[in-house]
Structure 1
Amino acid sequence: MPAPISIIIPTLNAGGDLPACIDSLIPGIEAGLIRELVISDGGSNDATRLIAEGAGADLVTGEPGRAAQLIRGAEAARGEWLLFLHADTALSRDWTERVADHLESRPDKAAVFSLVYRSDARMAKRIASRANRRTRWLGLPYGDQGLLIPRKLYDEIGGYDDIPLMEDVRIVQAIGRKRLAILSAEARTSAAKYERDGWRRRSWKNAWLITRYLMGASPEKLAREYR
């Protein structure tokens, strides 16, 4: 029987972060969980494609845009489970045990990982803790936390919507809090944007964007302001 999970990673000039992300998946190969690695690239002009090919990934290319890239990656994937990851996220080594348990005990539910920022800044733990509480209480994780979902459930809810922002929020809204678990294994994600923009400024900006989205602002309008 083929391994159950297809890993899908959208990339755009992710050569600096992608090797660590891929390295963190090796325990899943050793445990017989990973069927394939699909890299959905949006036109990188750095070493991203060479890294993907060197790792034996299936490379899917097309126009840039995270939602569109996730959709293309899912269309190319063949696994019974899909695991969507950001290229700047590396999973903790215990992810295989936590995921294997989830596949066996909750085969009809999606799951995300616990968020950790790769930073020694005091605010890093505070903001990650806030995001994890939001996930538990509201069922609204960040895309940085990954998304593990049965193919059957992914197809049932229609997958990702091709929108310029908030695609990660929209899909977990479609999944629903009762069908979303949070795993204790960690998604250790880059803190580069927070360190560049300032921890408080970036976190408040993110909170304001999602609040406006939940109040009815269009992803198109929010994307123009975000960028």
Structure 2
Amino acid sequence: MNHGGRKSRGDCLVFVNADTRLPRRADLLINWALKGPACWGRFDVEIGRGGALAGLVGWSMNRQSRLTGIATGNQAIFMTREVFEIVGGFPDQALMEDIAMSRLLRRLSAPVCLPMRVTTFARRWQQHGPLRTVVRMWWLRLRYWCGTSPRALAEEYIDVRWRDSA
């Protein structure tokens, strides 16, 4: 992400997970959002083709993000180039880099939380089940907040993903 951010030429940067799609006219929405006092933000997320439970999970993710000021890659984090450079880019860590970046950015301003939705594909949610996926992500995040290294979390996360898909 840092390589792409540093190589890009625009004044606004958007960081989005590979399985997430931006809404129409996202460029205009982002430019509009960054004209105010906030220097960063994110979109609401919906989990595509995931059913009613996935809708509840998406609603919960958006609500939690509004309350905490923490955004994830599924929500398409955007910021000004200036702010990206001020904070030194994303922390160089194996997992939870979006959480760490949100914490850095929150020191500069609250995020703009755009209600327009990005769509993240339900593959992981369907493969592991919504409840199991939510519990797993919360467990990883709790351990991160308690000081477990991102590298240790990433090794466990990747091992579980590989084992579950085999």
Fold in common (TM above 0.5): yes
SS of the equivalent of 1:179 reads: coil
Deviation at 1:101, TM superposition (A): 2.0
Q: Is the 8 A contact 2:11 2:81 kept in 1?
A: yes
Q: Is the 8 A contact 2:22 2:76 kept in 1?
A: no
**Could you report, residue by residue, the CA deviation over 1:40-79 in whole angstroms, capped at 9, with x for unpaired residues?**
xxxxxxxxxxxxxxxxxxxxxxxxxxxxxx1111121111
Structure-2 change in CA distance of 1:120 and 1:201 (3 Å): closer
Distance 1:98 1:184 in 2: 10
Deviation at 1:97, TM superposition (A): 4.5
Distance 1:201 1:216 in 2: 23
The counterpart of 1:176, out of the listed 84, 106, 122, is 106
Distance 2:25 2:59 in 1: 19
What letter is aligned with 2:57?
I
Distance 1:185 1:215 in 2: 33
Aligned to 1:141: 71
Distance 1:90 1:135 in 2: 19
The counterpart of 1:197, out of the listed 110, 125, 128, is 128
Q: Is the 8 A contact 1:85 1:144 kept in 2?
A: yes
Deviation at 1:96, TM superposition (A): 4.3
**Could you report, residue by residue, the CA deviation over 1:120-156 in whole angstroms, capped at 9, with x for unpaired residues?**
4121111101100111001122211011101111111
Runs of at least 5 residues in structure 2 that lack an aligned partner in the other structure: 159-166
Matched, 1:158 2:88: yes
Matched, 1:219 2:150: yes
Deviation at 1:94, TM superposition (A): 5.0
Q: Is the 8 A contact 1:89 1:144 kept in 2?
A: yes
Q: Is the 8 A contact 1:117 1:189 kept in 2?
A: yes
Q: Is the 8 A contact 1:94 1:185 kept in 2?
A: no
Aligned to 1:72: 3
Aligned to 1:57: none
What does residue range 1-227 of structure 1 map to in structure 2 within 5 Å? 70-106=1-37, 108-176=38-106, 178-227=109-158
What letter is aligned with 1:220?
R
Of Structure 1 and Structure 2, which has the larger fraction of its residues in helix? 2
Distance 1:74 1:148 in 2: 11
Higher relative contact order (CA 8 A, sep 6+): 2
Distance 2:15 2:138 in 1: 22
**Percent identity for Structure 1 against Structure 2:** 28
Distance 1:74 1:95 in 2: 17
Distance 1:134 1:94 in 2: 25
Which 4+ runs in 1 deviate beyond 6 A?
none
Q: Is the 8 A contact 1:140 1:169 kept in 2?
A: yes
How does the TM-score come out when normalised to structure 2?
A: 0.88
What letter is aligned with 1:118?
G
How does the TM-score come out when normalised to structure 1?
A: 0.65
Q: Is the 8 A contact 1:116 1:187 kept in 2?
A: yes
Runs of at least 5 residues in structure 1 that lack an aligned partner in the other structure: 1-69
Deviation at 1:164, TM superposition (A): 0.9
